[in-house]
Copies of this chain bind each other. A is one copy, B any other.
Amino acid sequence: MPERALKMLPLTAEPAGVPIDCRNCGAYQLCMSLWLKTGDASLLERVVKKKQVFKRGEVLYRMGQSLEYIYVIRGGSVKTCVSTEDGQVQVMGFHIAGELLGLNAIGNRQHNCEARATGVTSVCEVSVDRFEELAREDPAIQYEIFKIMSAEIRHSQELLLLLGKHNADERLAAFLLNLSQQFAQRHCSATEFNLSMSRSDIGDYLGIAEETVCRIFARFQDDGLVSSECRHIKLNDVERLQQIACHRPSRDLRNIVGSDLKA
């Protein structure tokens, strides 16, 4: 037996709530527009109601709750999810520093999902009323909101494709590659990082059981694709992961080689 390392890294291994540089923040354009437009730095202070810190597991907002604040993540990590009355959970996404939360509820003033910190997380809390006021006045801000909502729809579509058409291996590979990209965008290592979410969360995101996540991690590790020590992940063979994520690993690869591609 391959004898994988079993030591558990403490859950607090992540760098936690260090505020990011504003220039890397997803709300940068928004904030800068505000500032440039008005030339009034104090406006920022008035818009950003307060900076708040959530501990692991704490709730930023719940489903059905009325929308009062938009949250800008400064550091840490958050998951958003919907759930049914019988306790089933579907994680919609994992969010890290620089992302905005709550915008998707701007249409009906009511949160349609729940947001919960998966690690120590600090956020900027922004009043929705002011936010909208500003959007009405400044087309640039309005457009930023469109862009963010569009991106959210695109993300949902990708996830739907993943859940509807791909098996467990493909889902997990795609998930890891996605994370990798996400970190790269924030100027962190694309091949070595810490997961802020549990195996169970990953399963609830990818629509597979917690145990299946474990098993696939173990198999990927045995195959030399990744090194996973609990929540510390290292991607050893990104290319092969990409193959797994796109095609179906073995059978279809043969088919593709043997077939003449047609539009």
Residues of A at under 8 Å CB distance from B?
A: 82, 84-86, 88-90, 92, 104-108, 112-113, 135-136, 139, 142, 145-154, 156-161, 163-165, 204, 206-207, 246-247, 252, 256
Q: Which residues of B have CB within 8 Å of A164?
A: 90, 163, 204, 206-207
* Known contacts A152-B153, A160-B92, A256-B86; is-contact A207 B112 (Cβ 8 Å): no
Known: A84-B161, A90-B157. 20 other contacts (CB 8 A): A82-B160, A88-B161, A89-B165, A90-B164, A92-B160, A104-B150, A104-B154, A106-B146, A107-B146, A107-B148, A108-B147, A112-B154, A112-B157, A113-B157, A136-B142, A142-B142, A145-B146, A149-B149, A156-B156, A156-B160
Q: How far is the CA of A156 from the CA of B92 in the complex (A)?
A: 10
B207 and A150 form a contact (CB under 8 A): no
Chain B residue at smallest Cβ distance from A106: B146
